[in-house]
C-alpha cells in the first residue's frame, strides 16, 4: 500500500469517525432533565409534587397522574382536583399536534420521548377520579360528563367487543342521570351487559351516601421483542375483591366491578405498535445490510484492483450500521403505576346524622376476616344531597 492509498484510507476513516460523532452527539438545545433532579423523600405525595415541578416536561403528566391518585387516597381532594383538571386539559388538547409525538414516530426518535398522556385505561382513570370529585362537590352532571369522557377513551379498541366495556362508568352515568330526574335505564342495561362476573347494584336514585372503592395495584407495562418494540402489560394484583361496608345499622357490599388489568390487555393493538414494528424491521435490515457491505467491502479492499470500490462499499456498510444503531423502535413503558386493580361501588340511604363507616376489604364477601380495614366519618345534613366517600386499600 503506497503513501497515497494510506492517506486516502485515513481520510475516509477520519470522515466516518466525524460522521459518527455528529450522529451521536445530539443537539445541545434539547432539554435534558434527570428524573433524579429532586431528592426523594419516600413519601409518594411529596415526591410526586417535586417530580411535577422538576421532571422533564414529557413526563409531567405521568407524575401528575400518580400524584393525583396518591392525593385521592390521602384525602387531599382539593390537590387531586387541581392536578386532574390540568391532566384532563392536556388530554383534551392532544389534537393540537405535538412535536415530541411526531418525533416519536420518526426512525430515530424513541417512543418514550413523546409527552406522556397514557394509554386509554390510564386516561379513563383520570376522568374517573375527576368525576368522583365532581360528585363530592355536588355536581353530578359534571361527574356524569367525566364518566362519559372516560368511557370515550375506551371506545376505539381494536377488538370491538371490548370497546367501552367499563361496568362502573355506564352504571354511574345511569345513576347520575336518575338523580338528575332523567332516565338512566339504558346506561344501566349497558352496565349489566358489560358485567363479566358480578352485576352492579340496582340503580337507586334515593341513595344519598355513595362509596367509591378501589382495591389492589393495577397493571404495569413492559416490552418484549428483539428491540423491546412490543408493548406488553403485566397483570396487577389485589388481595381484595370485595369491600364490606358497615355504616349505621346497614351493611352494604362493594364488589369489584371493573378490572383494570383486563381493560389494559383487551384493547388489541395500537397504531404505534405498527410504527414500532416497522422501525424494528428497518433496524434489523439496515444492520444486516451493514454487516454484508462491511465484510464484502473489507474483502474487496484487499485486492489492489478493487481497493477503492471495496472501501466505498465498506463505508456504505458502516453508514448502514450507524443508521441501524440510531434507529430506536423501543416501546414506551412509562406507566401510571399506582392505579388500582379493581374498581367497586356501593350506596346506602341514610337519614341525617353523624356516621362512622367501617370498610373491610377481603377476598370474597363470604370471607370472615378482613385483610385491610378503613374508617370513614361523615355527616348527613340534607338527605337530598349526596355524600361521596372514596376509599382505597392502598395508601400511595
141 contributes a contact to another protein by CB under 8 A:
yes
How far is it, in rounded angstroms, from Cα 215 to Cα 240?
A: 6
Considering only residues 326, 333, 337, 371, which one is a binding residue for another protein as defined by CB under 8 A?
A: 326
- Binders of another protein among residues 184 to 243 (CB under 8 A) are none
- Containing H/E element for 392? strand 387-392
98 binds another protein (CB under 8 A): yes
Stretch that binds another protein, among 140-148, 237-245, 288-296, 348-356 (CB under 8 A): 140-148
Tell the burial category of 337 from Cβ atoms under 10 Å away from its Cβ (0-12, 13-18, 19+).
middle
Q: Please tell me the distance from the alpha carbon of residue 47 to that of residue 65, in angstroms, as a whole number.
A: 13
Residues 153, 124 contacting (CB under 8 angstroms): yes
Look up residue 131 and give its three cell numbers. 368525576
Residues 18-37 that bind another protein (CB under 8 A): 18-19, 22-23, 25-27, 29-31
Shortest distance (Å) from residue 19 CB to another protein: 4
Question: HEC profile for 175-204?
Answer: HHHHHCCCCCHHHHHHHHHHCCCCCCCCCC
Q: Does 278 bind another protein (CB under 8 A)?
A: no
Cα torsion angle, 81, 86, 89, 95, sign: negative
The smaller minimum CB distance to another protein, of residues 12 and 86, is found at 12
Instruction: Identify which of residues 134 and 233 has a Cβ nearer to another protein in the complex.
Output: 134
> Least separation, in Å, of the C-beta of 350 and another protein?
26
SS3 102: helix
**DSSP characters over 236-277:** -B-S-SEEEEEETTEEEEEEEEEEHHHHHHSS---HHHHHHH
Interface stretch with another protein, choices 36-44, 94-102, 236-244, 252-260 (CB under 8 A): 94-102
Query: x/- binding map, residues 51-90, to another protein, per CB under 8 A?
Result: --------------------------------------x-
Is 12 a residue that touches another protein (CB under 8 A)? yes
- Let me know the angle formed at the C-alpha of 121 by 116 and 127, rounded to the nearest 5 degrees: 85
How far is the C-alpha of 139 from the C-alpha of 213, rounded, in Å?
Answer: 19
**In the bound complex, what is the minimum distance in angstroms from residue 375's beta carbon to another protein?**
30
Rounded to a whole number of angstroms, the minimum distance from the CB of residue 117 to another protein is 6
Contact positions with another protein (CB under 8 A) in 111-130: 111, 114, 117, 130
Do β-strands 209-215 and 387-392 pair in parallel, antiparallel, or remain unpaired? parallel
DSSP-derived 3-state class of residue 327? coil
The count of other CB atoms within 10 Å of the CB of residue 103 is: 14
Please, what is the minimum distance in Å from the beta carbon of residue 319 to another protein?
Answer: 7
Between 113 and 358, CB nearer to another protein: 113
The burial of 276, by beta-carbon neighbours within 10 Å (0-12 exposed, 13-18 middle, 19 or more buried), is given as: buried
Measured on CA atoms in the order 146, 148, 149, 154, is the torsion positive or negative?
positive
Please state, in angstroms and rounded to a whole number, the distance separating the CA atoms of residues 368 and 167: 27
Q: Is 281 in the site for another protein (CB under 8 A)?
A: no
Question: Is the CB of 90 or the CB of 232 nearer to another protein?
Answer: 90
CB atoms within 10 A of CB 69: 28
The footprint of another protein on this chain (CB under 8 A) covers a number of residues equal to 63
> Of the ranges 96-104, 213-221, 231-239, 337-345, which one interacts with another protein (CB under 8 A)?
96-104
Q: Which stretch binds another protein (CB under 8 A): 137-145, 242-250, 253-261, 360-368?
A: 137-145
Binding segment (CB under 8 A) for another protein, from list 135-143, 187-195, 197-205, 206-214: 135-143
Q: Cα-atom radius of gyration of the chain, to the nearest Å?
A: 28
Q: Which CB, 75 or 93, lies closer to another protein? A: 93
Q: Cα-Cα-Cα-Cα dihedral of 302, 303, 308, 310, to 10°?
A: -60
Q: Are 61 and 335 in contact (CB under 8 A)?
A: no
Does residue number 11 form part of the binding site for another protein (CB under 8 A)?
Answer: yes
Cβ closer to another protein: 90 or 349?
90
The CB-of-33 to another protein minimum distance in angstroms stands at 13
Q: Which residues bind another protein (CB under 8 A)?
A: 4, 8, 11-12, 15-16, 18-19, 22-23, 25-27, 29-31, 89, 92-99, 101-106, 108-109, 111, 114, 117, 130, 134, 139, 141-146, 148-149, 152, 155-156, 158, 180, 182, 270-272, 275, 312, 315, 319, 322-323, 326
Amino acid at each position: 500500500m503506497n503513501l497515497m492509498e494510506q492517506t486516502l484510507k485515513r481520510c475516509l476513516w477520519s470522515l466516518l469517525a466525524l460522521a459518527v460523532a455528529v450522529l451521536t452527539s445530539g443537539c445541545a438545545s434539547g432539554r435534558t432533565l434527570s428524573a433524579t433532579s429532586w431528592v426523594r423523600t419516600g413519601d409518594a405525595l411529596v415526591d410526586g409534587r417535586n417530580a411535577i415541578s422538576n421532571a422533564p416536561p414529557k413526563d409531567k403528566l405521568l407524575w401528575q397522574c400518580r400524584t393525583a391518585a396518591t392525593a385521592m387516597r390521602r384525602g387531599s381532594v382539593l390537590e387531586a382536583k387541581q392536578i386532574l383538571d390540568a391532566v384532563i386539559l392536556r388530554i383534551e388538547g392532544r389534537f393540537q399536534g405535538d412535536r415530541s409525538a411526531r418525533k416519536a414516530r420518526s426512525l430515530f426518535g424513541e417512543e418514550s420521548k413523546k409527552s406522556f398522556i397514557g394509554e386509554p385505561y390510564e386516561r379513563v382513570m383520570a376522568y374517573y377520579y375527576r368525576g368522583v370529585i365532581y360528585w363530592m362537590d355536588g355536581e353530578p352532571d359534571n361527574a356524569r360528563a367525566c364518566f362519559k369522557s372516560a368511557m370515550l377513551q375506551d371506545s376505539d379498541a381494536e377488538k370491538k367487543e371490548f370497546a367501552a366495556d367499563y361496568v362502573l362508568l355506564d352504571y354511574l352515568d345511569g345513576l347520575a342521570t336518575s338523580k338528575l330526574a332523567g332516565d338512566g335505564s339504558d346506561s344501566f342495561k349497558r352496565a349489566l351487559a358489560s358485567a363479566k362476573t358480578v352485576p352492579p347494584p340496582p340503580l337507586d336514585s334515593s341513595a344519598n351516601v355513595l362509596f367509591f372503592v378501589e382495591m389492589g395495584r393495577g397493571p404495569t407495562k413492559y416490552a418484549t421483542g428483539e428491540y423491546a418494540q412490543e408493548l406488553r402489560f403485566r397483570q396487577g394484583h389485589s388481595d381484595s375483591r370485595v369491600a364490606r361496608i358497615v355504616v349505621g345499622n346497614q351493611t352494604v357490599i362493594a364488589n369489584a366491578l371493573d378490572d383494570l388489568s383486563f381493560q389494559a390487555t383487551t384493547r388489541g393493538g395500537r397504531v404505534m405498535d405498527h410504527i414500532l414494528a416497522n422501525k424494528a424491521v428497518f433496524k434489523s435490515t439496515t444492520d444486516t445490510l451493514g454487516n454484508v457491505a462491511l465484510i464484502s467491502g473489507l474483502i474487496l479492499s484487499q485486492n489492489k484492483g478493487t481497493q477503492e470500490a471495496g472501501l466505498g462499499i465498506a463505508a456504505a456498510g458502516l453508514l448502514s450500521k450507524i443508521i441501524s444503531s440510531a434507529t430506536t423502535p423501543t416501546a414506551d413503558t412509562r406507566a401510571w403505576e399506582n392505579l388500582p386493580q379493581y374498581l367497586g361501588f356501593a350506596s346506602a340511604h341514610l337519614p341525617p346524622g353523624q356516621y362512622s363507616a367501617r370498610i373491610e376489604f377481603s377476598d370474597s364477601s363470604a370471607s370472615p376476616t378482613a385483610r385491610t380495614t378503613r374508617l370513614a366519618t361523615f355527616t348527613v345534613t340534607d338527605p337530598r344531597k349526596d355524600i361521596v366517600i372514596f376509599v382505597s386499600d392502598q395508601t400511595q
